[in-house]
Amino acid sequence: MRTTTATPTVDAFDHRSVVRYTIITTVLGLAIMAAPALVDQPSEVGALVMTYGLLLGGSVITARRAGPGGVRRLFSGLLRWRIGWANAAVVLAAIPLATIGIAAVTGTYVAPEAGWLPVIGSYLFTTFVFGALLLNLWEETGWQGMVQRHFTGRHGLVKGCLLTAVPFAIVHIPLQIRGTSGMREALVNVGVLFLMAPAARYLVGRTDYATGGSLLAVGVLHASWNASGQLSVVDGDLQYVIGLVVVAVVALIVDVVRSRSGSGVLSEHRGTDIAFTAAAS
């Protein structure tokens, strides 16, 4: 094993600019995500417009504040693929395995009639092609690369993920309430969203740290939890949420234990720059 360090762009612009960008992203994102329902269009249309539009806006701000070099440093994280086998296993397999485990415990596991190969193939396609490549890599370049890294550098990982979780959840509210049968179901779905968001942002933040600033790993992780909610061997919609929260809690416990020895993400010093350290084979 060898240790490599990388310092991705954390403060491409000042705190006031980050807060302003986050507020604008939240307000515009909420409107864009809600618009398809008003004109009877698929939700994916709003998700694509929000992701690429706000990423473009953030890139322009980054270029103005940090120059072309700042934009290159930000997007370089999308090419960081040497993250170590352990990190790769967590990114790709932890949440689907936890989801299937929750299904087995709750009696909602459905044995695959055609075997596991189609299940695995569908999961990988949904994660890498439909999820990461089309949407989640670019979504997390904005949320993690531009927003959460800044808040983490200023307040630490836990507060940074909580500060990011709130606007992140607000933007996704239209996806949770579209197609619901009544106010009660809508409120339950929104409540689940706000429960899941801090866990998701913690996993994203600590993955960014553990992989040396790999937005590629972060985007795949995001796509993985989305794909885990579509597993054909699971009968239900909440198992993947519980699985995600379980993985986040386990990761937090591991990080707390490691922090007692002065290592790990929770021991990282706050500041305008964060040194991301990753183990690579």
pTM of the model: 0.90
The predicted pLDDT at position 8 comes to: 45
How far apart CA 219 and CA 221 sit, in angstroms, is 5
Structure confidence by residue, pLDDT tens digits, 181-193? 889 999 999 999 9
Tokens of 41: 């269009």
Q: Is 179 left (phi over 0), alpha (psi -120 to 50) or beta?
A: left
The CA R_g of the chain, rounded to the nearest whole Å, is 18
Q: What is the greatest pairwise CA distance in the chain?
A: 55
Domain count, the chain: 1
Segment 45-77, tens digit of pLDDT? 889 999 998 899 888 888 888 888 888 888 999
Residue 67 backbone zone (phi > 0: left; psi -120 to 50: alpha; other: beta) = left
Q: Taking a C-beta distance cutoff of 8 angstroms, is the pair 144, 218 a contact?
A: yes
Quick one: how far is CA 188 from the chain centroid? Answer: 22
> How far is it, in rounded angstroms, from Cα 65 to Cα 16?
12
Strands 276-280 and 2-6: antiparallel
Within 13 Å of residue 88, how many CA atoms lie on the same side as its CB?
9
Angle between helices 85-106 and 215-228 (to 10 degrees): 10
pLDDT at position 61 is 84
Q: DSSP class of residue 236?
A: S
Q: Residue 124 belongs to what domain range?
A: 2-280
**Residue 4: what are its φ and ψ, rounded to 5°?**
-120, 150
Sign of CA dihedral 220, 61, 165, 48: negative
pLDDT band of residue 263 (cuts 50, 70, 90) is confident
